[in-house]
Structure formats: structure tokens, C-alpha cells
Amino acid sequence: MTFNSNSKLLITGGTGSFGKEFIKTILENHPDIQRIVVYSRDELKQWELQKQYPPEKFKQLRFFLGDVRDQSRLRRALEGIDTVIHAAALKQVPAAEYNPMEFVKTNVLGAENIIQACLDTEVKRVVALSTDKAAAPINLYGATKLCSDKLFVAANNIKGTRGLRFSVVRYGNVMGSRGSVIPFFLDKTKTGTLPITDTRMTRFNISLTEGVEMVLWALRNAIGGEVFVPKIPSYRIIDVAEAIGPNCKKENIGIRPGEKIHEEMITASDSFSTIDLGQYYAILPSDGSANGQYSNSGKAIKAVEPGFAYNSGSNPEFLTVEQIRDLIRKHVDPTFQPT
């Protein structure tokens, strides 16, 4: 699947970090696309994005105020749409622990609303964004995203004869995104102290550009029912602190509730239904429904070893301090200098 002058795309959470990068990429590479609907509930962010893309110049852009909790509004927004990127979610771990049902309503019931609205319209492709916290979750945010992943995978069982495919992409920390550690540390350098939760802590790292490329790859290649996982490097939190503030004091404050020392994107239990596609892994539906389709697809695939797990702590590729600095300059702040 590729975008052309007849393509009509909707992205939920379109005013977030991923949404803005995705829209920018589509407009740069497919300026003749017929329609991009930006669906989100924040009128201020929509207004700010409209200033960046004035309607008289970007006639293909439409801005829909709406919440994924509202299925009837979703149905209206999806009229005539053929491709959906579901990026809307509540994401902050502490907020989820304090407001659990709000996260359930948006991340779980909102996912089900997307699925039902797509089944009721003419949508052909759906890619939902997930998170490494959905693998063996220990916090409510991760649990809601795992539930969302399961809903999108299972939706392929009820599509009937529709030419509709649901799939999921799961990746780690997005470099420079709101609430992530790098902008947090950059701000904290003003105080001369960087708070370290645990010196052993590791995380997967992906750039916004790589996240967008992965979603576009999934749209082109998904059979339906997969959870795609990228092969990306890890970093040590202590190396991020050293890259940003080598002269700052490093204060160990202890791990926060709901945090892991290392994140996982594929668990050992997933290994029995996981295949290696080269640039990405794909966790296939555990009922085996997609196995034959992949075997007959002509794709270069191989099963991972039983018991294989993809963990940020045992990842064979780690970023060095200097590589982290280069990536900050490339993806976060071109003028960055260590403090």
C-alpha cells in the first residue's frame, strides 16, 4: 500500500509528537494526497497546528475535534477514510495509577471504539501505536496498552469479508518526546543536579523519524494481526546523564512505582509466535491464524528461538555517550552542548 491522490488518511492523536511528525512526512512525500484528517480533543493544539499548515495552502488537511471515547464522532470522522493511524492515548505512568478508569476509557474503550467505527465504514488499513510497557506490564498504563493491542489483533477475526487489516507497532522511548528523560535532563541541568532513579536502568531508544518509517512500513507490509517490533539500540540511563550533564551532580533517587529496571518488547512467552523479518520482528496471533499467510507470502522470514526475549538490558546494541550526544543534536536540539 502506498499513498496517492485518492488516499484518505485519519490519525487519532494527530496533534501529538508522533502525529505532527507523521503529517509532516506524508505532506513532504505525498503532497497530492487527497485528505488527512487530524482527529484530537485539544483545540489549542489543533489551532497551533493549523497556523503551521494554513488551510489556504494545505487544502488536504482537515481538523476534527473529537475524543476516541466518542464512537459516533469517530464514525462521522471516518466517512470516506481508507487508512487509520491510531496514536491517541493517555501515557503518563503516575497519572494512570491515580486515575485508572480514565486510562481504561481512553486506551481500552477508545481502542474498541476505533475498531467498531472502522468495521462500520470503508477503512482498509489500521495501524495502532503501542509501547514497550505493554510487554509483561507492571503498571496500569502498560496493562491498558496490552489490552488495546489484544483488541486490535483480535479485530481481524471479526472483519468478515471486508478487505480490512488491523496491526500494531510497538517500540521504546521516543527520543525527545514530551515527558521523556532527555528533555527532562536537559531542563534539569539548570539546577546542576540530575536525578537518577537507578544506575542499572536501561531503555530502548527510537527517533520520531524511525517511528514514522516503521508505521509506513507496517501499512505496506502488514497481513493483519501482527505486533511489529523494531530492532533498535538501548541506552543506560547513567550514560544519558553523562552525555547531557558530565559536570552535573548525579543524585540517586530510587526507582518510581510502576517502573522496571529494564523494558521488554518481546517476552519469552511471545517467542513461540514471533518471527524475524530482518529489520523488524513480528509477534503473530497466538492461535496461528497468520502463520500460513506468512509462509505463503514470499517474505524472508524465520522463527526466533524458543525462549527468545527482547529486553533493553540484554540488547546486543547499546548507544555510547558520544552517540547519545550526536542523536540529541540530530533529533532534539542542534545547538546542544554538554553541561
Which CA distances in Å does 210 have to 25, 64, 110?
Answer: 11, 27, 26
Q: Where are the alpha helices (DSSP H) in 34-176?
A: 43-52, 71-77, 93-98, 100-103, 110-119, 140-155
Which CA distances in Å does 243 have to 177, 191, 195?
Answer: 18, 16, 14
302 assigned to active site: no
Percentage of the chain lying above the pLDDT 70 cut: 96
Please list the residues that pair with 302 across neighbouring strands. Answer: 276
Give dist(CA 89, CA 105) in Å, integer: 10
Q: What cell numbers appear for 214 in the block? A: 516503521
* pLDDT tens digits, one per residue of 272-286: 999 999 999 999 998
User: What number of CA atoms fall less than 13 Å from residue 287's CA on the CB side?
Assistant: 7
Class of the domain covering 8-170: alpha beta
pTM across the whole model: 0.93
Residue 2 is predicted with a pLDDT of 74
Give dist(CA 167, CA 123) in Å, integer: 13
* pLDDT tens digits, one per residue of 87-111: 999 999 999 999 999 999 999 999 9
Residue 240 has pLDDT above 90, yes or no: yes
Any residues with CB less than 8 A from the CB of 247 and at least 6 apart, and which?
338, 339
Give dist(CA 58, CA 39) in Å, integer: 16
Residue 172 has pLDDT above 90, yes or no: no
Confidence of residue 215 (pLDDT cuts 50, 70, 90): very high
Q: Where are the alpha helices (DSSP H) in 278-320?
A: 291-295
What are the strands, taking DSSP E only, across the chain?
8-12, 35-40, 61-65, 83-86, 125-129, 165-169, 173-174, 193-196, 202-206, 227-230, 234-236, 249-252, 264-266, 274-276, 280-283, 302-303, 310-311
Residue 296 is predicted with a pLDDT of 54
- The catalytic position among 133, 145, 188, 260 is 133
* Burial class of residue 245, CB neighbours in 10 A (0-12, 13-18, 19+): buried
Measured between alpha carbons, how far apart are the two ends of the chain, in Å? 46
Residue 64 is predicted with a pLDDT of 96
- What is the arithmetic mean of pLDDT over 133-142? 96
